Amino acid sequence: MQTGHVVSDIPEESTSFVGRRAELRRIGRELAEHRLITLTGPGGVGKTRLALRAARAAAPRFPDGVGWADLWPLRGDELLPATVCDAVGLADHTTRAPVAALCSWLADKRLLLVLDSGEHLVDACRDLLGDLLTTAPHVTVLVTSRQPLDLAGERVTEIGPLPCTGDNDALTLLADRARAAAPGLRLTDARYAAAAGTICRRLEGIPLALELAGAQLATSSVERVAERLTSRFDTLDGDRPAFPPRHRTLRCAIGWSHELCAPLERLLWARLSVFRGTFDAQATAAVCAGGPLAEQDIRTVLAGLAAKSVISREGARWRMLDTLREYGRMWLGELGEAAELASRHAAHFVSFAHGAVDGFQGPDHPGWHTKVTDAHVDLCAALDHLLAADPERALELSASIGFVWSCDGRPQEAHGYLVRAVAAHRGPGPARTRALWVLGIIALYQDDLATAGALGRQCADAARAGGRAEAALDASYLIGTTHLMAGRPLTARTVAEQALGRTPGDPYATPGRLRCQLLRVFALTALGRLTESRAGATALRRACVRRGTPWFRSYVDYQLSLISLYQGRPAEAEHHARAMLAAKPGTGDSFGTGLGLDLLAAALAAQDQGAAAARAYGMGKAVWRTVGYPQRGVPELGAVREECERRARAAIGDRAYEEAFQRSCAERPETILARIAAGEI
């Protein structure tokens, strides 16, 4: 079966692409002949756009797809391995070092990896790629950077400006952007030729500078733009700190665009530089409004910056190029607002993280997954700031977002920040208890039951001391699950029932109660008390539907599928496995997806659908690889998997089973999730 090429990881282009045919042909040849290609050149010259085009054109040559990693939001090298893991679809849950996990994951992949804007991480990129290219012989890497990596085997291609003479690409780009800014304006008309040519030559064919100039033609004549550029070059102060001297032309264009902005636009430009990633209007208002910039004016001012090409739209969010962000950051410092904006930025993302915890446990889990993914680099920025400026708030943020990341395929990052935050603030309180609890949940994922149990007991002691009922329930869930995974289901059941008995009222009223109810069902199933387990699971599922908690409901469906298998009801088992899987696309829950596919395979095998079972089982194997484990789950699931394989092989024969299984194993997890969402599995 053809798995198809997944190129959805390549960002979409928001404007037309002009020229660069020779460069694209050259990069295409280099991608076929070399394993590490670095596109170098000054800021604004168009390296990223060329990489986008080249990667999309080359994608059919890479069966395992294209992974795109934006490096420009990273301020240090700590998150580089995690960023690359995200780009290639690895959500490692093990205790391995991220670089080791990444190299292992890519060892057999035929994949193109693009690292965009790596000039500030040259040493870290060199070290990472040195390991990766050695251990993953079929991976090709395309890097954009203002300087080479100086790594053995690197093919360096310098990207220059667009040509400015004759019938040139610089004029074509300027004319295209002029039409977008001022419909009906045709710079190719003879009356504009001289002024347009002056603009192109003055800006030396640098694409970003031409785009900024084109945007100004919405409010200025071509002749006026050319005249202002000439005047500005004559009076340009070469000592301004925005850029090194070699970027004089780009500095001029950016500074000129800045001067033409309205005062509120200049203020917002500076304040937006506090964001490391993309941003939406709500976050902009929360962080940037104040003083002369009223909250109700934010959308209007954002639109003004977009009209001048300072920011660009990406769906409901906005992006600012790093070159323009650097300029805004310089002005933010001159305004004396850098410290205040960093604090407001952090406070916003603390509030955001609290909302994400509720969101992940509520009806819009996929929507919150998208929000958290979009905000990832800014959440990291807020954590970095608070760890230095306010460790207590850092603990609060790490406890909230750490829980979300542990559910969202980022347990390694969650663990790293939680450990730092717990060490930075040792005072007791709800945030510390929650942080220790999340560390315990991550330890469960990593099969470190001793650590999980010890952390659970610490949380239980702290919850009792503070009289916090919900924290006590969560601690009991962690302790009980540790017993369950260690093969002690009777103890797990006792822990769950005692915890629930201490909290009178609606037994499904809070996430902590739902967790303990789920633990009780798991334990009853493991004990073979299937009638009680089914009754408990059925009641719990109704409560989850009533409360709008699809994440919890999906794991109840997992249990109902397993119970149905044990009771000889494979059609029901298939129904519940499919219901579980239907809740997984768009959630980042690779762990749950793997469990659901394994149970679906077992249910199909029990109905003698050997080929379908082999395909589902192979897809499960593909998903489990992204988690870093062959297969996981409660201890008794191992026997279910073995019986699944035996029955499927018996139904269609070993050769047919292996062919179907191996074809599905080769599918990319993104393709599998898309097929689940489309109802094809």
User: DSSP string spanning 102-166?
Assistant: HHHHHTT--EEEEEES-GGGHHHHHHHHHHHHHH-TTEEEEEEESS----TTEEEEE--PPP-SS
One domain for residues 242 and 294: no
Q: Which residue's structure tokens are 């000039």? A: 119
Is the predicted pLDDT of residue 213 greater than 90, yes or no?
no
Is the predicted pLDDT of residue 403 greater than 70, yes or no?
yes
pLDDT number for residue 93? 78
Over residues 555-574, the mean pLDDT reads 96
pLDDT number for residue 283? 97
pLDDT, tens digit (0-9, with 9 covering 90-100), for 45-84 = 889 999 999 999 999 999 999 999 999 888 888 889 999 9
The CATH number linked to 30 is 3.40.50.300
One domain for residues 69 and 102: yes
Pick the more confident residue, 191 or 553.
Answer: 553
Buried b (16+ CB within 10 A) or exposed e, 24-40: eeebeebbeebbbbbbb
One domain for residues 638 and 677: yes
pLDDT number for residue 633? 56
Task: Give a three-class secondary structure readout of 164-208.
Answer: CCCCCHHHHHHHHHHHHHCCCCCCCCHHHHHHHHHHHHHCCCCHH
Identity of residue 125: C
Give all strands (DSSP E) within 283-379, no chain letters: 312-314, 317-319
154, part of any domain:
yes
Is the predicted pLDDT of residue 241 greater than 50, yes or no?
no
Over residues 227-247, the mean pLDDT reads 50
Over residues 524-551, the mean pLDDT reads 96
The CATH number linked to 274 is 1.10.10.10
Query: If you average pLDDT over each of 89-98, 482-491, 669-678, which comes out highest?
Result: 482-491
Partnered with residue 112 across adjacent β-strands are 66, 140
Is the predicted pLDDT of residue 3 greater than 60, yes or no?
no
Is the predicted pLDDT of residue 400 greater than 50, yes or no?
yes
Over residues 599-623, the mean pLDDT reads 91
Q: What are phi and psi of 42, to 5 degrees?
A: -70, 165
- The count of structural domains within the chain is 4
The mean-pLDDT minimum among 35-44, 229-238, 669-678 falls in 229-238
pLDDT confidence bin for 231, thresholds 50/70/90: low
The one-character DSSP state at 425 is -
The mean-pLDDT minimum among 151-155, 198-202, 519-523 falls in 198-202
One domain for residues 253 and 310: no
In angstroms, the CA 353 to CA 355 distance is: 5
One domain for residues 103 and 77: yes
255, part of any domain:
yes
In angstroms, the CA 175 to CA 19 distance is: 13
Over residues 84-99, the mean pLDDT reads 85
One domain for residues 265 and 249: no
630, part of any domain:
yes
The mean-pLDDT minimum among 158-172, 378-392, 417-431 falls in 158-172
In angstroms, the CA 45 to CA 103 distance is: 32
One domain for residues 542 and 679: yes
- State whether residue 561 is helix, strand or coil: helix
658, part of any domain:
yes
One domain for residues 556 and 601: yes
Is the predicted pLDDT of residue 4 greater than 50, yes or no?
no
pLDDT number for residue 630? 65
One domain for residues 180 and 291: no
291, part of any domain:
yes
448, part of any domain:
no
Domain finish residue from 336, 355, 379: 336
The one-character DSSP state at 13 is P
pLDDT number for residue 111? 94
pLDDT number for residue 674? 79
pLDDT number for residue 155? 94
In angstroms, the CA 657 to CA 616 distance is: 11
One domain for residues 228 and 271: no
List CB contacts of 679: < 8 A, sequence separation 6 or more. none
Domain finish residue from 234, 259, 284: 259
435, part of any domain:
no
Full residue range of the structural domain in which residue 624 is found: 528-681
- State whether residue 313 is helix, strand or coil: strand
pLDDT number for residue 242? 42
One domain for residues 648 and 603: yes
Domain finish residue from 336, 354, 369: 336
One domain for residues 133 and 247: no
pLDDT confidence bin for 232, thresholds 50/70/90: low
Cβ atoms 486, 445 nearer than 8 A = no
pLDDT number for residue 196? 83
Mean pLDDT of the chain: 88
The mean-pLDDT minimum among 55-64, 289-298, 318-327, 447-456 falls in 318-327
Residues 287-290: contacts with CB within 8 Å, 24+ apart?
287/341, 287/344, 287/345, 287/348, 288/341
634, part of any domain:
yes
Q: Are strands 317-319 and 312-314 parallel, antiparallel or unpaired?
A: antiparallel
Cβ atoms 595, 565 nearer than 8 A = no
Is the predicted pLDDT of residue 221 greater than 80, yes or no?
yes
Is the predicted pLDDT of residue 2 greater than 70, yes or no?
no
List CB contacts of 614: < 8 A, sequence separation 6 or more. 601, 648, 652, 656, 657, 658, 660, 661, 664
